[in-house]
Structure 1
């Protein structure tokens, strides 16, 4: 069976306030062309279909269009919700549209309800594990604790139990939206640290033939059978050098996997430039950057007046501006730079230490963690409704 593995479309997302709907539409057309040219038999979308729980109408139009196109081609689509999606909204009428070959899995109750598809070698069970907020689904899975590892492990136990009831020789594909240990991140993924450690071991997915992962935006291989497709577009300048792709996966009669990386089109190159303002504006060596999305870092000792406006005269798609000479002491270091790379829990503990003058006790650290996770769980419940 030939499977096209993609994820993290983030329909409706902007890049520094610039709409990407046109570029996302171009990707969907490319996906459709790939399906036809490569004779794809199933499309698997591993979550974060939309960029937020309540997407703009234009993004919904794009979503409806690709579903209609795949249904017209008779190519089944298996899709799960990610941490950016509203499970209930994405899953509206899921049972009804299965008649058109569109299989949406957005709730914990659907993890062990596979879409059974067939090729010339027999059945393939597609299991969808949407993003599972630990605090919301712990009770459903009777997990030991509200952690990502615990709830995903419990969900996979349900998958293996169901798979054991299927006819001998049934192959299996799992779609999951999670952070698997050993993978590389970028700046454009939303943090999922609720439930303590955000990552889960790849061993959680043992017993399945292929795992199509979503959440991380870099196309990468955890193992031969476990892969991230990544996002089809770069959504931050940290991804400027990341080739965007999909996986074309051939699942053999005996469960063997052959996978090829298919590069996605680049609608506009994303680059980072560093230099003095007047040099960037005048030097012919930068001509190739004039149509790129740019993050510009100026090296001028003083901040030039209306620097971005001047840059955009030559580079109309310059989106982000930084300065290498901030002229600040360590005490004046920006709050953003001080907290970069730290978790909410670490930031809150730092604030508590700053206010009280003493580090938090172990009990205080645990209490603060419980409070943060309670807030995250409530917010996730509101988004899911």
Structure 2
């Protein structure tokens, strides 16, 4: 049997406010092409199908199109829910869907009710363990004392092992969790409860292969416990990641091979650093013109309307940040203000966020500081503050 392991589709996610549905449709429909090219028997989706528990109508439309394409390519589909999904909504119509080759496992009750699919060597049991919130699921799992993810997942895998003991088969577990030894990318939503969110890889002992979801980069925890990662990058921290899926081969005794298959990049991400003028004119940045762009500006003075200017060259610029070259890197804030007067601190703040104040601005700032401290006459205070604001924003 040949299995394609994927997860963390996050259909409906936005990227710094930009709608990603078109990119997601292209990437996920591409999975159907891979299914056909590799003669995949089963696609295992380990949670976070959607980005929101109540997905938009457009997100549902993309999900439906992807499932239809994968089934048309010849694979059956096993899905479990992640911490972004609503188990009830994602699992709706599961009995009916199974007749068409889509198997949804999103409830505690379904953990010990595997999807059984046969090949020439016999049957393979696919167990779906949805994301388990300890406070919500401990009673249903008969572990009322459980407070951590490790405890509820231990209970869930206990049910899996008990079922396998009565009906031995080759087995694949789909689970959505943070396993010790794996590394987060920063675009995942935290699943910590009381600071305890990780589980040991040994929790999943007894399964031939464990298809994990939750973390967005492909990772090998053990040879048979792996994360596929997300099919698209969802943060600039993931811009250097090679997105892909795992293809798992099962023979008569279990896993015979696991190999990575890279996914084509739908759209690149670029983080550019330099002055605004350099970014919009330098030929070095031609390759980023059709990328999502994060710009770190190093102009001496904060540029006005920088995003509009950037988008004239980079239409998909989504984030801009100004890093003043005047800010002393690595110096603690308390060290920066120690021994300085209030007026000096305020003037330094203006320098950091805009540019060095003029002599007139320094006088206005000093007057404002003295007014706040009660050293100036009450009468002109409002006028002075008005002058400060208008002068500094002019």
In the alignment, which residue of structure 2 is the partner of 1:360?
none
Q: Tell me, which stretches of 5 or more residues in structure 2 are unaligned?
A: 338-348, 350-394
Question: Runs of at least 4 residues of structure 1 off by over 6 A?
Answer: 326-329, 331-334
Contact 1:210 1:257 in 2 (8 A): no
In the alignment, which residue of structure 2 is the partner of 1:263?
262
TM superposition shift of 1:73: 4.4
The verdict on how the C-alpha distance between 1:258 and 1:278 changes in structure 2, with shifts beyond 3 A counting, is same
Q: Tell me, in whole angstroms, the C-alpha distance in 1 between the residues paired with 2:253 and 2:246.
A: 20
3-state secondary structure, aligned to 1:150 = helix
In the alignment, which residue of structure 1 is the partner of 2:246?
247
1:207 aligned onto 2:228: no
Q: Tell me, in whole angstroms, the C-alpha distance in 2 between the residues paired with 1:233 and 1:21.
A: 11
User: Aligned runs of 1:110-129 on 2, under 5 Å?
Assistant: 110-129=110-129
User: Aligned runs of 1:110-149 on 2, under 5 Å?
Assistant: 110-143=110-143, 144-149=145-150
TM superposition shift of 1:260: 1.2
In the alignment, which residue of structure 1 is the partner of 2:79?
79
In the alignment, which residue of structure 1 is the partner of 2:191?
192
In the alignment, which residue of structure 1 is the partner of 2:179?
180
TM superposition shift of 1:67: 2.2
Deviations along 1:82-124, one digit per CA (max 9) or x if unpaired, are 0000000001011121111111011111111100110000010
Number of residue pairs matched by the alignment: 332
Q: Tell me, which stretches of 5 or more residues in structure 1 are unaligned?
A: 335-385
TM-score (norm: length of structure 2): 0.81
In the alignment, which residue of structure 1 is the partner of 2:333?
330
Q: Which has the higher contact order (CA 8 A, sep 6+)?
A: 1
Moved more, 69-78 or 127-136: 69-78
Q: Tell me, in whole angstroms, the C-alpha distance in 1 between the residues paired with 2:255 and 2:57.
A: 41
User: Aligned runs of 1:294-313 on 2, under 5 Å?
Assistant: 294-313=293-312
Contact 1:251 1:257 in 2 (8 A): yes
3-state secondary structure, aligned to 2:273 = strand
Q: Tell me, in whole angstroms, the C-alpha distance in 2 between the residues paired with 1:218 and 1:74.
A: 27
In the alignment, which residue of structure 1 is the partner of 2:99?
99
What is the root-mean-square deviation of aligned Cα atoms in Å? 1.8
TM superposition shift of 1:69: 2.9
Q: Tell me, in whole angstroms, the C-alpha distance in 2 between the residues paired with 1:71 and 1:246.
A: 18
TM-score (norm: length of structure 1): 0.83
The verdict on how the C-alpha distance between 1:111 and 1:283 changes in structure 2, with shifts beyond 3 A counting, is same
Higher Cα Rg, which structure: 2
1:3 aligned onto 2:16: no
In the alignment, which residue of structure 2 is the partner of 1:153?
154
In the alignment, which residue of structure 1 is the partner of 2:384?
none
Contact 2:107 2:130 in 1 (8 A): yes
